[in-house]
A and B are shown apart, each in its own frame.
Chain A
Amino acid sequence: MRAPSSDLPLVLDEVSLQAGATAILDRLSLTITPGAPTLIVGPNGAGKTTLLRLCMGLTAPSTGRITWGGHAAGAPARRAILFQRPVMLRRSVAANVTYALAQAGTPRNQRARRAAALLERVGLSDLAQRPARRLSGGEQQRLALARALARDPEILLLDEPTANLDPAATRSVEEIVLMAAQSGIKIVMASHDLGQVRRLAGDVVFLVRGTLCEQARAADFLDHPTTPEAAAFLRGDLVI
């Protein structure tokens, strides 16, 4: 099933992104390897979303280099991204998934079966024929997850997928994410919810004002932060 070439490790080498005079990301170097979920943590405006867009290849860096499994940007066949506010295609729930399957190159005669399996996986089987835009926020996130998983990704990038969800909806999204991680998909997820970091993270990338402040195993980061910024953030102080 898997193509021989791999998108991992994902390596960012001295990557900067300028927007006018301000640096959104500043000489950031980072290597993402297979394994437990990596959570990108930091206050709003730290550059989490931008970092995910760069990792997906949606945005090109101003300076620096990004490589996926040793290759410079190619088609994002092995990557998928879940935006903070995913856009639902103006079609049924099932059609949203079959569309993603078609774009991922799934043969036509397998799409219906795979779409049903994916909807089962995210718990939306009962809503398959509903218009996607009528779903609740949590259901839309789960449908977007099904669409992302339809790409059979090696890396799944998620941008605060539970930011606007209630605890029940958050739990079901996290369960799907954990299941994906267990099936071998590398999860890279932005979050500013420390509880979520504790529940999901294998390791943590802590960003402040576009720079990589700290990178550590989740337990080490949460219990023994080495930088004053991380310590302040964990205490709940306002880190700007």
Chain B
Amino acid sequence: MSDQLSAWQLIVSGDAALFAIVRLSLAVSLSAVALAALVGMPLGALLALTRFPGRSALVVLLNALMGLPPVVVGLAVYLLLSRSGPLGAMGILFTPMAMVIAQTILIVPIIAALTRQTVEDLWAEYRDELTAMDVSPTGRMTTLLWDARHSLLTALLAGFGRAAAEVGAVMIVGGNIDGFTRTMTTAVALETSKGNLPLALGLGLILVAIVLTVNAAAWGTRVWSERQAG
């Protein structure tokens, strides 16, 4: 009980270290969502609109990659970015940049797979009209992505949820360095193991609150824009 009280006190008093952690977590995860959307949405749309040998296998693989374990992604990115790795010269291991890269890799499959499904369903509906209007392949992709925007918001949320909640990847490539690469999830893990339950609980509560807020905002946006565009 006293643990919970001090957790609330930390939040209410606006502890500076705590808010730095929150800020970094949000910056890393939102950047990863933005980058993954940039890659995953066109990729998903392309996969939805093209037919080639091995496509089914690729769709299955992409769906399977949605369950990619964060620690495996973390390890792979670690090997790439470590001093002796192929990208070691960039010297970005144990920086927020490395964390963004790892989380992006983690959620590209989620966004691409959900986009693929959404765009494919919409294409079934739009195919005749767009073909009759002689829309180019690129035009089809952008039209379908735009007209599916309400549903695609859910894909982004799924990606954000995954990024904000994972510990494994950011822990391995970020290193959980105090004041530099410590995120909410790595801090919760660390503080719990140290026995500092008030801070761990406070961070846990904020994490849940943020995920709720982001989802509520997205829901509101969706309702509003659907009312605008049908």
Tell me, yes or no, whether A binds B. Answer: yes
Residues of A within 8 A of B (CB): 56, 58, 75-77, 80-81, 83, 86-92, 99-100, 103-104, 130-134, 147, 151
What is the interface size of chain B, counting residues whose CB is below 8 A from a CB of the partner?
18
Contact for B229 among A56, A87, A91, CB less than 8 A: A91
In the bound complex, residues from chain A placing their C-beta under 8 Å from that of B147 are 89-91
Query: Which one of B125-133, B158-166, B204-212 is at the A interface?
Result: B125-133
User: Are A131 and B132 within 8 A (Cβ)?
Assistant: no
Residues of B within 8 A of A (CB): 125-126, 128-129, 131-135, 139, 143, 147-148, 150, 227-230
A103 to B129, CA, bound (A): 12
Contact for A103 among B128, B133, B228, CB less than 8 A: B133
Given A103-B139, A132-B230, A134-B230, do A87 and B133 touch, yes or no (CB 8 Å)?
no
Contact for B132 among A76, A91, A132, CB less than 8 A: A76
User: Are A83 and B128 within 8 A (Cβ)?
Assistant: yes
Min CB–CB distance A222 → chain B (angstroms): 31
User: Are A103 and B230 within 8 A (Cβ)?
Assistant: no
User: Are A100 and B228 within 8 A (Cβ)?
Assistant: no
Given A87-B125, A87-B126, do A100 and B133 touch, yes or no (CB 8 Å)?
yes
A70 to B139, CA, bound (A): 29
User: Are A87 and B128 within 8 A (Cβ)?
Assistant: yes
In the bound complex, residues from chain A placing their C-beta under 8 Å from that of B150 are 90
In the bound complex, residues from chain B placing their C-beta under 8 Å from that of A104 are 133
In the bound complex, residues from chain A placing their C-beta under 8 Å from that of B139 are 103
User: Are A89 and B134 within 8 A (Cβ)?
Assistant: no
A110 to B137, CA, bound (A): 24
Given A103-B139, A131-B228, do A86 and B129 touch, yes or no (CB 8 Å)?
yes
A77 to B132, CA, bound (A): 9
User: Are A83 and B129 within 8 A (Cβ)?
Assistant: yes
A70 to B157, CA, bound (A): 53
List 6 interface pairs A-B (beta carbons < 8 Å), by A numbering.
Answer: A58-B132, A77-B134, A89-B147, A103-B135, A104-B133, A131-B230
In the bound complex, residues from chain B placing their C-beta under 8 Å from that of A100 are 133
User: Are B132 and A80 within 8 A (Cβ)?
Assistant: yes
**Further contacts, 12 of them, CB under 8 A, given A83-B128, A87-B125, A131-B230:** A76-B134, A77-B134, A83-B132, A87-B126, A87-B129, A89-B143, A90-B150, A91-B147, A99-B143, A132-B230, A134-B230, A151-B133
